[in-house]
Amino acid sequence: MAVLTEEQTMLRDMAREWADNESPVTAFRKMRDAAPAAFYDAAAWQAQGEMGWAGILVPEARGGAGMGYLSLGLVLEQLGRTLAATPLAATAAATSALILGGSEAQQAEWLPRIAAGDVVAALATDEGPRFAPDKIATIVEGGKLSGTKEFVAEGDSAHLFVVAATDGLYLVSGDEGVTRSPRKLTDSRSHAQIRFDGAPAEKLEGGTDLLTQVTDRAAAALCAEMLGMAEAAFAQTNDYLKTRVQFGQVLASFQALQHRMAKMFTELELMRSVVEGALEAIDSGRANVSQEVSLAKAVSGETLHLVSREMVQLHGGIGMTDEHDAGFTLKRARVLEAMWGNAAWHRERFAQLNGY
C-alpha cells in the first residue's frame, strides 16, 4: 500500500465524503432514467472543478495543483465506489497528452480551462471494437484530420479531442469537420463514434511514442476507478452475507461462501498493490512504466471481473434485478475491462516487454 502524504490523505477523505453524499449510486440511477438521458452529471463535474480535482495533473503554473497520478487515482478510486458519472478520467487522459506533448501556446490555451472544470476533453484512439494502438488509419493532410474513432468515452460532450493519427497525436477543438454519433453501451455512460472529416488539427510533439505514454496513463487512471468499484462491490456483498438468513443461519456462516469471500479479499489486496505501484511509477518517472501499467490493468480486469460476478451470484435473485445496484457494477465493469486493453492484451504486452 502506498504511503500517502497528509495532503493526499485529506484529498482521499474529501473525495470519499463527497462521493458518498453528493454522487451516490442513486444519482447515477436517476441520471440513467432521465428523459432524455444525460451524458454525464454536469453538476458533479462543476463541483469537481471548484474543488480542484479537474486540475490535479495540471501544473501549478497553469492553474492546477500539480499533484500527480497517485493523487488522481485516490480521487478516481472514491468516485468508482459510487459509480459517479463524471468525465474526470477521460479529461485527465487528454490532459496528460497536453502536459507531455503540448507546446507552450497549446498548454496556455487549454490547461487553465481544464483545471477550472470549464472543458471536457476526450482521448480518441480506437478505430475498431478493441484497443489496437498499432492499427490506426487516421491521417492528417495540410493540417486537416480525417478518420473515424469508435467508442470514445465522453465523446458526446467533449470540447477538446486528443486524436491518434498515423504519425502521433493531434488536438481537435470545435465542431468543424466533427460528427458525433452516440453509442449506447451496457454501462449507460457517455460513449460516441466520432467522425473527423477534414477537421482542423494541431500536432502534439512526441510522435507515436507519445501515444503509448498517454494510453498508459489513461489505463493506470482507469485501474484506480476499477479498484474503487471492486472494493465497494466486495463490501456490499460481505455485508449482505452477514445479514441474509437462509436455512436458519446467516449466509456468512457457510464455509464455502467464506472461501469465496477470502479469495476475493486476497485478490483485492494484490489489485491495490499493483494499481498504486503503476501510479507511483508514473509519478517517479521510472523506466518500466509500461510494464507496471500492463501488470495493473491485467490484474484489475481479472479481479473486477471476479468480484462483480460474485456480487451478482452471492446476492441471489435480487442481484439479477435492475432495482439492485449489482447490475450497475457488473455492466460498468465489463466496459472498463475492455477499455485501453483487456487483461489478455496487457498480459501479452507484459510478456513481450519482459523478453518473452
pLDDT digits (tens, 9 = 90+) for 245-261: 988 999 999 999 999 99
Q: What percent of the chain has pLDDT over 70?
A: 100
Q: How far apart are CA 92 and CA 279, in angstroms?
A: 13
Four-way CATH pick for 121-205: 2.60.120.620, 2.40.50.220, 3.90.226.10, 2.40.110.10 = 2.40.110.10
- DSSP 3-state assignment of 39? coil
Q: Which residue stretches of 23-87 are H helix?
A: 25-33, 42-51, 69-81
Q: How far apart are CA 91 and CA 89, in angstroms?
A: 5
Give yes or no for residue 155 having a pLDDT over 90: yes
2 confidence band (pLDDT: 50, 70, 90): confident
pLDDT, one tens digit per residue, over 102-152 is 999 999 999 999 999 999 999 999 999 999 999 999 999 999 999 999 999
pTM above 0.85? yes
Q: Quote the pLDDT of residue 174.
A: 84
Residue 199, C-beta contacts closer than 8 angstroms, at least 6 positions apart: 144, 145, 146, 172, 176, 177, 178
Say if residues 44 and 23 touch (Cβ distance below 8 Å): yes
Grid cell digits, residue 21: 453524499
Q: Where in the chain is the domain with CATH 2.40.110.10?
A: 121-205
Distance (Å) of CA 262 to CA 166, 207, 256, 259, 265: 47, 46, 10, 5, 5
Among residues 309, 313, 314, the alpha carbon closest in space to that of 329 is found at 309
Is domain 209-353 classified as CATH 1.20.140.10? Answer: yes
pLDDT, one tens digit per residue, over 219-234 is 999 999 999 999 999 9
Give yes or no for residue 1 having a pLDDT over 80: no
Q: How far apart are CA 356 and CA 354, in angstroms?
A: 6
Say if residues 265 and 257 touch (Cβ distance below 8 Å): no
Residues linked to residue 197 through DSSP beta bridges, in sequence order: 146
Q: What percent of the chain has pLDDT over 90?
A: 94
Q: What is the mean pLDDT of residues 55-77?
A: 98
Mean pLDDT across the chain, nearest whole number? 96
199 confidence band (pLDDT: 50, 70, 90): very high
Grid cell digits, residue 266: 486476497
34 confidence band (pLDDT: 50, 70, 90): confident
Give yes or no for residue 38 having a pLDDT over 90: no
- Determine the CATH number of domain 6-115: 1.10.540.10
Q: Where in the chain is the domain with CATH 1.20.140.10?
A: 209-353
Length of the chain: 356
